[in-house]
Amino acid sequence: MALEFSAMHLIVGEKTASMSDFSPIVGEDSHRYLHGHSVYKVEIFSDSSTYWWSSFKYGDKTSYSEDVANLTLGIDEANPRSKDQVELSKQLFCLYDDKEKCLYISDAKKKSFIAHYLKSKIGKKVEIKNFYKSVDDFLKIIQSVESVKFTAKRNLFSIDAAVTKILPSPGDVYGLGMPEAFSLGSGPINLALDVIHSLH
């Protein structure tokens, strides 16, 4: 199974994280960590100069049934696991690249957990944020693009969006005759930049 990682901005205190921030947990042995209803087994690996890598195997301590299905025999039988035992059947990985100043997480939905874990270990405020490009940064990137094409679909959420203002006027007060979707393309890049500015 292939893993997909999301790139995140890791902030410790009020600044972008550095490897020195991980010093309290570098070299720490495998350990358990409880968060909410989940139990985590944490393994930490580190090249102290560039990378901090960790893996988490975890499971829900509230997920328990008195009976389990025996697929071989086709019967239900008593659960051999006690309520004190938790199956660590899920995995989470994260890597911090100090050179690129980027945190990679295998499940972006768990970024709040990673922030909570690091805060408890480091003892400082920790935030994990998505990377966003400003309009100006985006325009700098597309200077080398030959053309730009936008596709928009008219629905309940986009009906009042600025991009729909370039649609033709409706045929009547009920909006009949309006296109359900449209595409807009611009060839020479100088014209494309004008289009993007008008949509911003």
Show which of 112, 130, 148 is a domain's final residue: 130
Show which of 106, 130, 154 is a domain's final residue: 130
Does 36 lie in the same domain as 119? yes
1 inside domain:
no
Does 111 lie in the same domain as 33? yes
Does 173 lie in the same domain as 97? no
126 inside domain:
yes
181 inside domain:
yes
Does 18 lie in the same domain as 71? yes
The pLDDT of residue 75 is 93
182 inside domain:
yes
CA 88: distance to chain centroid?
A: 22
Using DSSP, state whether 98 is helix, strand or coil. Answer: coil
Does 101 lie in the same domain as 175? no
Which structural domain range is residue 140 located in?
A: 135-199
Does 140 lie in the same domain as 110? no
* Whole-Å CA distances, 82 to 7, 60, 88, 189: 39, 14, 14, 65
Does 163 lie in the same domain as 79? no
Show which of 79, 99, 130 is a domain's final residue: 130
The pLDDT of residue 182 is 54
Q: How many domains are contained in the chain?
A: 2
* pLDDT, tens digit only, all 200 positions of the chain: 677 899 999 999 989 999 989 888 887 889 999 999 999 999 998 766 788 899 999 999 888 889 999 999 999 999 888 888 899 999 999 999 998 899 999 999 999 999 999 999 999 999 999 887 666 666 665 565 555 565 656 565 555 555 555 555 555 555 555 555 555 555 555 555 555 555 55
* Whole-Å CA distances, 85 to 45, 58, 105, 139: 26, 12, 27, 54
The pLDDT of residue 192 is 53
User: Beta-carbon neighbour count of residue 58 at 10 Å?
Assistant: 22
71 inside domain:
yes
Q: Angle CA(158)–CA(162)–CA(163) in degrees, nearest 5? A: 75
Q: Which contacts qualify for 82-87: CB closer than 8 Å, 24 or more apart? A: 86/39, 86/59, 86/60, 86/61, 87/59, 87/63
Does 116 lie in the same domain as 156? no
